[in-house]
Amino acid sequence: MALAIAFILGLFALAFVLYPLVRRSRSEDASSEPSVPSQSQEQIAAGHEDALELIEREQSARAAIQEVELDYQLGNIDEPDYRSLRERYMRRALTALKSRYEREEEIDDEIEEQLQKLKESYEKTKQG
């Protein structure tokens, strides 16, 4: 009886270890089929990269502001240097925020345009 339980537990452990390998090989087989991304998929990927870049720029500017403020509080930099550095990084952060906002507005406009096309298409099929 104990031998049967040990054997079953061993099979479960083996399945647990091998499952990710089997799953990965199946997904590689499915992805090996040639597929050409459509223009909209390429645009989505490019837009996603742009959005990530804008977020990264904003976060790096915020981190720089925090670092400058910490250096000033610790007495590592003088007040004139602190003010100039803080102003520079604030401008960078605001520029990144503005760029991100503009990109979001562009995306909203694209969504509205696509919704309008879908509504028009729906109305045509409804009438026809």
Say what the pTM is: 0.52
CA dist., res. 105 & res. 111, Å (int): 10
Whether the predicted pLDDT of 106 surpasses 60: yes
The pLDDT tens digits of the residues spanning 25-65 come to: 665 555 554 444 455 666 666 667 877 888 888 899 999 99
- If DSSP codes are grouped into helix, strand and coil, which group holds residue 76? coil
Looking up tokens 């590592």, which residue turns up? 76
**What is the 3-state composition of the chain as percent helix, strand, coil, each rounded to the nearest 5?**
90, 0, 10
The residue whose two tokens read 């007495």 is 75
